[in-house]
Amino acid sequence: MLQLRPNCECCNRDLPPESAEARICSFECTFCEACASGVLQGKCPNCGGEFVPRPRRPASKLAKFPPSTERVFKPAGCAAAP
């Protein structure tokens, strides 16, 4: 099951579970659309994989299957991204 991480690893922007702006790679590294397509040019800085829109979990399932609360943020942001 997807973790639905709560933020962009690059800019730390909040990405709630209903966000259509969240992008993930196959390892669930999570970024906002602006960072994924802009700064990162569609390539995950962690694994080199491609980004796809993160699926949105139906609101009726969030109580039983809550999103992750663990924030992943790289202190240097994505300045060193390829």
Q: Is residue 37 part of a domain?
A: yes
* SS3 state of residue 43: strand
- List per-residue pLDDT tens for the chain, 82 residues long: 899 999 999 999 999 999 999 999 999 999 999 999 999 999 999 999 999 999 999 999 999 999 999 999 987 768 755 5
Which pLDDT value is given to residue 29?
96
Q: Is residue 79 part of a domain?
A: no
Distance CA 22, CA 14 (A): 9
Q: Is residue 72 part of a domain?
A: no
Return the percentage of the chain with pLDDT > 70, whole number: 95
Residue 13 belongs to domain with CATH number: 3.30.40
Strand intervals (E) in 1-82: 22-24, 30-32, 52-53
Domains of the chain: total: 1
Domain that holds residue 17: 1-56
